[in-house]
Each structure stands twice: as C-alpha cells, then as structure tokens.
C-alpha cells in the first residue's frame, strides 16, 4: 500500500489533494487486499489510481470589454468499468489537476455505491464565474464546449454541475453541445426541467445528505427533530440541506461563503431560506447581506490568519460541511467535539482533513464520508439519464422516493461492509471497501484494458 502512495507521489509530486484521497481509500481497503491477494497480483491499485484519460485544453473567450481571456479546461476520465464516465464540472479559480483528480477518484467509488451504472469522472476550469455577466459566462461555456464536445456523449461521458456550475452553465453548455453534434441527447445532467432535466435533481445532494444523516441517527433511535445543526456553504448543496433539515424539525444556525459566515441563533426558517436562495441564485450576492435583512443574525468575516474556522465553534448537535474540501481542520474537529456535536455528515467532497476524521472516529460520533452521504446528487443524475433514454419524466414523488431508497441502501451497504471487515460503525471504511470492491471485481472481470 505504501508502495502505491510512493508511486503516485513520485510520479505526480504536488498533487496533495489527490494523494490525500488515495491514502484514505488505501488505508481503508487494506483488509480487503489482505483477504484477496489476487488484487495485488493483478495490480488493481496501480490501475485504479491512474486515470484512463486526461484531457487538458485552452479555453479562449472574450470579456464584455472586448478583451481576450484565456482559461484552462480539464476533463479527467478516471474509470469507466461500471458505466460511462460520470461526474461534475467545477468552475473555480482554485481548480487544478490535483483537485480534479481527487474529485474524479472519489467519484468512482461514490458512483459505485449508488448501484447505478456510472463510471467516474470530473472536470472543470480555473474560470471564476463570480462577478462575470451572463454573457461572459455564456461565451466561456460555449468555448469550453467547443473542445469538450468531442470527448463526451450519453454513452461515453456525462458531465454535470459542481462548484460554480449550476443550471445556467449547464444550459449554455448543452446548447453548444447540441449545435455541434446536431443531436438532442442526455449528454449532461442537471438540465432545466423544460428540456430534459429531472425533478428533484437540484434538491438531490442536499436532501440525500440529510436522508443519510437521518439513517445514521435512526441506528441510535434518534431523529433530527429539535437538533441544532451547523451548515457551511450557501450554494446548491447547502440550500437543500437546510430545506430538508427544517422539514424534519431540525434548526440550522449557520451558513457561509468564501467571504464569511452568518450565525442566526433563532434558526434559519423557511422564509429566511427563500431569501438566501434568491440572494445566492438570482442576485448572486454575498451571505453577509443576510444580516441586512435579518439583524438578529451575526456576520463574521473569514479570517485566514486564524488556526480554525469559527463557524465550527458553536454549540450544536450536528454538522453538515457543504462548501468545499478541507474546510474542517484538526482544530475545527476538536471544537466540534467540545461543542457537543454527535454527527458530522459531509455534503461537500472531502471537507474533513485526515486528522479531523481520526478525531471523529476516536470519539465514536456518527461520521459520514462525502462519497456516501453526498451521493444523492449523482444518483439522481443517474435517474435523469434513465429518464432521458426512455424519453419520459417521472413525478417528483417518484424521484424523491427512489433517492430515499438509494440513500438508505448506501447507508446499509456501508454498515455491512464495515462490519464484515471488523470496523463496525465506521462508515468511512465501509464506503471505501464497498465502492472499491465493486469496481475492482468488475475490472478483473473485464480483463487487462
């Protein structure tokens, strides 16, 4: 196992997020490797850490001032053993190969856990949609697709949204794909409802995360009713996490963006959430504007000189990190424990550093790794693909019901795999073992390709 880590570190030094994601999975699956020596003999680790294909391309576009801008576009086609590459596109200035490789690697196991036929991929650009006009975003998306279109397709690779890519961007990307291919097909998910999107896809990641949390609580005969919850971020995942927590009787007291966070001791109710949705999705404003409307809340500016994020330092029962990777460091995890948090459910991908995860596990709290708890988004993307191939659309209740079942099954799969390998209650070990086993067994079935 250490030899594989050394291999990827020597080959691609500096890809620290990718190394972090691989190390976690390798540690978890060690007992599987011990029990199944043929995996090492067939070099499944060497194969699974190497993307099947990486596409890197120039994205030139013109801004509103008539100035040419150039960004870098990426698509990591990580693993297609159990289905077409599937995973989101992220538009954020921090995007680089390491971040996209870690996301693509996680996606392989997450998608396997959903039980739907989807391989793993991820892509995006260092383009920053913040502060750009709709026309600039459109021109960027069109230029991005002018290259990407030749590498994707409904049976090859099906991108979707992630940070900075929502319904607006998916619309522009789809329009250009359709024009270039002269074909109306389900090549992207997260489409709007009027032209092939699925009901509940916008809600799916947040709802799914809360369904997973409810399943974890149920193992202790508990519910979310009356629980105080910390939620980070204020984008797609966070908004629908808050919506479902409210519906299940919990109280959410925080939301954030990269500039800072709000703490609303009275709780963010349905009306306040409607305000946040409008603020973030239509006005494209900052979370600080929440206190202009709700003066009972407190806004704290992000301060990178601190050794912790004060958002995680409030009395609460549950935490739903739903913004970005490594947003909970070791100190934050200690603060969460000190403040009585008994459940951490990851809506974001890899939001907890390894030291923080160890603290959650040592304290025996309910800890859900993102690849299990945020799988609801890609699961409903899979259902969107199914509806597109049948050229029909299911009612919201049906999609929601299927989402609930899928999250319930993932929860059980994690518990069963963890127990089978002597780590009862360890959802991280269970998710990694179950996802890994499914993919590597399929790889072995398909021979050396």
If binding means CB under 6 A, how many residues of this protein chain bind ligand NDP? 24
DSSP state of 371: H
Would you state the structure tokens that stand for residue 203, as one six-digit string? 């809600």
Rounded Cα gap, residues 54 and 32, in angstroms: 29
Residues in the interface with ligand 2IT (CB under 6 A) total: 12
Residue 371: count of CB within 10 angstroms of its CB? 30
The whole-angstrom separation of Cα 250 and Cα 395 is 27
* Per CB under 6 A, 233 contacts ligand NDP: yes
C-beta closer to ligand 2IT: residue 103 or 366: 103
Asked if 142 touches ligand 2IT (CB under 6 A), the answer is no
CA nearest 254: which of 201, 222, 302?
302
Helix/strand/coil for 76: strand
Q: Shortest Cβ distance from residue 100 to ligand 2IT (Å)? A: 11
**Phi then psi for 150, rounded to 5 degrees?**
-75, -10
Q: Under the criterion CB under 6 A, does residue 129 sit at the interface with ligand 2IT?
A: no
Binding mask 70-109 for ligand NDP (x = CB under 6 A): ----------------------x-x---------------
Q: What does 382 bind: ligand NDP, ligand 2IT, none (CB cut-off 5 to 8 Å by kind)?
A: none
Burial of 341 (C-beta count, 10 Å sphere; 0-12/13-18/19+): buried
Stretch that binds ligand 2IT, among 54-62, 68-76, 335-343, 375-383 (CB under 6 A): 375-383
Among 245, 323, 372, 443, binds ligand NDP (CB under 6 A): 323
**How many Cβ atoms sit within 10 Å of the Cβ of residue 211?**
24
Closest CA to 141 of 116, 154, 159: 159
**Least distance (Å) between residue 432 CB and ligand 2IT:** 16
Which positions are annotated as active-site residues?
A: 122
Instruction: Please state the length of the chain.
Output: 449
213 binds ligand NDP (CB under 6 A): no
CB of 311 to ligand 2IT, least distance (A): 22
Q: Is 84 in the site for ligand 2IT (CB under 6 A)?
A: no
> Do 418 and 424 form a contact (C-beta atoms < 8 A)?
yes
> Which residue from 98, 189, 234, 254 is in contact with ligand 2IT, where contact means CB under 6 A?
189
Q: Rounded to the nearest whole angstrom, what is the least distance from the CB of residue 348 to ligand NDP in the complex? A: 3
Chosen from ligand 2IT, ligand NDP, none, partner binding at 114 (C-beta under 5 to 8 Å by type): none
Which of these segments, 67-75, 80-88, 404-412, 416-424, binds ligand 2IT (CB under 6 A)?
80-88
Q: Phi, psi (5° rounding) for residue 420? A: -60, -35
Q: Out of ligand 2IT, ligand NDP, none, which partner does residue 121 contact, by CB within 5 to 8 A per kind?
A: none
Q: What are 71's strand-pairing partners? A: 59
Question: Which single residue brings its beta carbon nearest to ligand 2IT?
Answer: 88
**Helical spans, DSSP H, in 308-374:** 330-338, 354-362, 370-373
Which residues, numbered 161-200, are part of the site for ligand NDP (CB under 6 A)?
161-164
Rule CB under 6 A: is residue 426 a binding residue for ligand 2IT? no
378 binds ligand 2IT (CB under 6 A): yes
Strands 120-125, 157-160: pairing kind: unpaired
Cα separation, 350 vs 369, whole angstroms: 7
Q: Are 61 and 128 in contact (CB under 8 A)?
A: no
Distance of CA 34 to the CA centre of its chain: 30
CA dist 317 and 213 (Å) reads 12
324 interacts with ligand NDP by CB under 6 A:
yes
Segment interacting with ligand 2IT (CB under 6 A) among 58-66, 221-229, 377-385, 422-430: 377-385
In terms of CB distance, is 223 or 300 closer to ligand NDP?
300
Q: Is 131 left (phi over 0), alpha (psi -120 to 50) or beta?
A: left
With CB under 6 A as the contact rule, the residue among 347, 369, 430, 435 that binds ligand NDP is 347
Contacting residues for 5 by C-beta, under 8 A, at least 6 apart: 19, 22, 23, 26
| 398/391 Cα distance (integer angstroms) | 16
Phi, psi of 31 (to 5 degrees): -60, -30
- By rule CB under 6 A, what string of x and - marks binding of each residue 363-382 to ligand NDP? -----------x--x-----
Query: Which residues ranging from 88 to 127 are in contact with ligand 2IT (CB under 6 A)?
Result: 88, 107, 110
**From the list ligand NDP, ligand 2IT, none, partner contacted by residue 164 (C-beta under 5 to 8 A by kind):** ligand NDP
Query: What is the closest distance, in whole angstroms, from the C-beta atom of residue 111 to ligand 2IT in the complex?
Result: 8
Q: How many CB atoms lie within 10 A of CB 296?
A: 8
Q: Give the footprint of ligand NDP on this chain (CB under 6 A).
A: 92, 94, 161-164, 205, 233-238, 257-259, 322-324, 347-349, 374, 377
Q: Give the footprint of ligand 2IT on this chain (CB under 6 A).
A: 86-88, 107, 110, 160, 162, 189, 349, 377-378, 381
């Amino acid at each position: 196992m250490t030899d594989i880590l050394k291999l990827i570190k020597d080959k691609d030094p500096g890809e620290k997020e990718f190394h972090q994601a691989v190390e976690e999975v390798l540690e978890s699956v060690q007992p599987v490797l011990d029990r199944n020596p043929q995996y090492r003999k067939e070099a499944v680790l060497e194969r699974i850490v190497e993307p099947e294909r990486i596409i890197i391309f120039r994205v030139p576009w013109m801004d509103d001032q008539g100035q040419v801008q150039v960004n870098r576009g990426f698509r990591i086609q990580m693993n297609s053993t159990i289905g077409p590459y599937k995973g989101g596109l992220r538009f954020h200035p921090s995007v680089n190969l390491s971040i996209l490789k870690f996301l693509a690697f996680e996606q392989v196991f997450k998608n396997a856990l959903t039980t739907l036929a989807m391989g793993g991929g991820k892509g995006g650009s260092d383009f920053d949609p913040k502060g750009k006009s709709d026309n600039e975003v459109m021109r960027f998306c069109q230029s991005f697709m002018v290259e990407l279109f030749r590498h994707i397709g409904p049976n090859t690779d099906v991108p979707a949204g992630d940070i900075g890519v929502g319904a607006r961007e998916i619309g522009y990307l789809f329009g250009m794909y359709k024009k270039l291919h002269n074909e109306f097909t389900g090549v992207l998910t997260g489409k709007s409802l009027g032209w092939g999107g699925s009901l509940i896809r916008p809600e799916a990641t947040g709802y799914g995360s809360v369904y997973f949390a409810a399943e974890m609580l149920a193992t202790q005969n508990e519910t979310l009713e009356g629980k105080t919850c910390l939620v980070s971020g204020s984008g797609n995942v966070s908004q629908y996490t808050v919506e479902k927590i409210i519906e299940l009787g919990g109280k959410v007291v925080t939301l954030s963006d990269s500039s800072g966070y709000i703490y609303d001791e009275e709780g963010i109710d349905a009306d306040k959430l409607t305000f946040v949705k409008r603020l973030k999705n239509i006005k494209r404003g900052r979370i600080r504007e929440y206190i202009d409307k709700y003066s009972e809340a407190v806004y704290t500016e992000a301060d990178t000189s601190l050794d912790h994020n004060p958002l995680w330092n409030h009395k609460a029962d549950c935490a739903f990190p739903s913004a970005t990777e490594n947003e909970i460091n070791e100190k934050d995890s200690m603060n969460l424990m000190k403040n009585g948090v008994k459940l951490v459910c990851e809506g974001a991908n890899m939001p907890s550093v390894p030291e923080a995860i160890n603290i959650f596990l040592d304290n025996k709290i309910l800890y859900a790794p993102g690849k299990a708890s945020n799988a609801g988004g890609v699961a409903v993307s899979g259902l969107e693909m199914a509806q597109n191939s049948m050229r029909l659309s299911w009612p919201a209740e049906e999609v929601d019901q299927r989402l609930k079942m899928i999250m319930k099954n993932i929860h059980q799969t994690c518990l069963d795999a963890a127990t089978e390998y002597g780590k009862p209650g360890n959802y991280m070990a269970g998710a990694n073992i179950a996802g890994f086993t499914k993919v590597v067994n399929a790889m072995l079935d398909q021979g050396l390709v």
